């Protein structure tokens, strides 16, 4: 039978599962060649019909079997080819994820935290939105003090403001805790100031120690130990100063890390770099926070993190610390 030959050879030469489907339609479909022959059976004489019918059905069975076998082997070949084409080269090194570096301010803060925690200080935090009371009044800052001006402090309402210093955390700690107190309070502070050495947002680390019999000697010993841990055997000096919440007050300087005291651009010719403000906690401040200044005394200090970072790394513009320029940040 000629149809059988051509169906089987079409089947054998089909190169894909899709071509095979065309072969199936061509021979076995509704208008397929074999189908039409079966349909034409009616025109045969009754004697011929059984033999021809049997033959056509046999051929159909053979063609179906050939299609099925060929489909399977083609499908298998296609899968194999696809698997080969999609092989993963497991020896190819992966792309390394970008590794960040520590921000210089975090490096400095972690140093400070390690030093103070080593001396038994606790780390506490306070709110960045403060009240006028905690930020100024309870710290003995008089109503006409220039820091209270609209020009210097970001006010939210008359009562609420963005804290201009971390010192209010001193008050919050003393209000909720009996002495002894030994804390540092790191965080963001805000001032209306913006140029190469001032940023409207910057960071401070506040310190407070209150107990029976705390003296200026404790202040000096603690802060000199801090200077030694941070800067090694550099020279340190305490310079009289003024803060409303401490009496007496002192600022601590170290000999300039660039010129070693000779005088240069970084230390503005003085040979010294200012590291922090400090002092003995003012009796009025202790009193307002609920402590008895006849029973306990204390010292406090405030460190500007940006200034520390700028002097340590020789950064001349404070804005570099906040611009997130990777060329800058990758250097630390």
| Distances, alpha carbon 180 to alpha carbons 48, 174, 288, 295, in Å | 118, 9, 17, 11
Q: Give exposure, 123-159, as e/b (b: 16+ Cβ within 10 Å).
A: ebebeeebbbebbbbbbbbeeeeebbeeeebbeeeee
CA gap 297, 106 in Å, rounded: 32
Q: Give the contacts of 8 (CB within 8 A, at least 6 positions apart).
A: 62, 63, 66
Residues facing residue 174 across a β-bridge = none
Whole-number minimum distance, CB 115 to ligand DAH, in Å?
17
Nearest residue (CB) to ligand DAH, 153 versus 278: 278
DSSP state of 93: P
Query: Which residues in this chain contact ligand DAH in the complex, by CB under 6 A?
Result: 165, 167, 206, 243, 246, 277-279, 300-302
Structure-token pair, residue 315: 């950064």
φ, ψ for residue 255, nearest 5 deg: -65, 145
Nearest residue (CB) to ligand DAH, 37 versus 183: 183
Residues facing residue 278 across a β-bridge = 250, 301
165, 189 Cβ separation under 8 angstroms: yes
Whole-number minimum distance, CB 249 to ligand DAH, in Å?
6
Whole-number minimum distance, CB 93 to ligand DAH, in Å?
51
Nearest residue (CB) to ligand DAH, 130 versus 206: 206
Nearest residue (CB) to ligand DAH, 70 versus 204: 204
Nearest residue (CB) to ligand DAH, 13 versus 215: 215
Whole-number minimum distance, CB 269 to ligand DAH, in Å?
23
Whole-number minimum distance, CB 332 to ligand DAH, in Å?
25
Nearest residue (CB) to ligand DAH, 32 versus 302: 302
φ, ψ for residue 57, nearest 5 deg: -65, -40
Nearest residue (CB) to ligand DAH, 278 versus 297: 278
Whole-number minimum distance, CB 145 to ligand DAH, in Å?
12
Nearest residue (CB) to ligand DAH, 19 versus 274: 274
Give me the count of residues in the chain.
332
Whole-number minimum distance, CB 178 to ligand DAH, in Å?
20
Q: Give exposure, 27-65, as e/b (b: 16+ Cβ within 10 Å).
A: bbeeebebeebeeeeeeeeeeeeeebeeebeebbeebbe
Residue closest to ligand DAH, measured at CB: 302
Q: Please, is 271 exposed, middle or buried when counting C-beta atoms within 10 Å of its C-beta (0-12, 13-18, 19+)? A: middle
Whole-number minimum distance, CB 241 to ligand DAH, in Å?
8
Whole-number minimum distance, CB 97 to ligand DAH, in Å?
40
Please give the distance of CA 291 from its chain centroid, rounded to a whole number.
40
Nearest residue (CB) to ligand DAH, 242 versus 332: 242
CA gap 275, 251 in Å, rounded: 7
């Amino acid at each position: 039978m000629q149809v059988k030959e051509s169906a089987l050879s079409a089947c054998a030469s089909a190169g894909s599962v899709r071509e095979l489907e065309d072969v199936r339609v061509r021979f076995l479909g509704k208008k397929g060649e074999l189908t039409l022959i079966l349909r034409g059976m009616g025109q045969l004489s009754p004697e011929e019909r059984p033999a021809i019918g049997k033959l056509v059905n046999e051929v159909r069975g053979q063609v179906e079997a050939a299609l099925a076998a060929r489909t399977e082997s083609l499908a298998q070949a296609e899968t194999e080819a696809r698997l080969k084409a999609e092989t993963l080269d497991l020896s190819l090194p992966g792309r390394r994820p970008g590794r960040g570096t520590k921000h210089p301010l975090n490096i400095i803060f972690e140093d400070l935290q390690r030093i103070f925690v080593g001396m038994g200080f606790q780390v506490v935090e306070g709110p960045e939105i403060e009240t006028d009371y905690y930020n100024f009044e309870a710290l003995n800052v008089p109503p006409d003090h220039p820091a209270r001006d609209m020009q210097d402090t970001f006010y939210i309402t008359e009562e609420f403001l963005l804290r201009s210093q971390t010192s209010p955390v001193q008050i919050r700690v003393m209000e909720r805790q009996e002495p002894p107190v030994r804390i540092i309070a790191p965080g963001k502070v805000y001032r209306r100031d913006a140029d190469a050495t001032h940023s409207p947002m910057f960071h401070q680390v506040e310190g407070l120690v209150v107990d029976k019999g705390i003296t200026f000697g404790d202040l000096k010993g603690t802060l000199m130990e801090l200077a030694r841990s941070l800067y090694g055997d550099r020279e340190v000096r305490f310079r009289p100063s003024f803060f409303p919440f401490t009496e007496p007050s002192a600022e601590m300087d170290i000999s300039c890390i660039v010129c070693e005291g000779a005088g240069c651009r970084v230390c503005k010719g003085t040979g010294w770099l200012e590291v922090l403000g400090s002092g003995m906690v003012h009796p009025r401040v202790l009193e307002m926070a609920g402590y008895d200044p006849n029973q306990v005394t204390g010292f406090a200090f405030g460190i500007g993190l940006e200034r520390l970072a700028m002097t340590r790394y020789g950064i001349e513009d404070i804005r570099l610390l906040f611009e997130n320029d990777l060329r800058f940040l990758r250097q630390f």
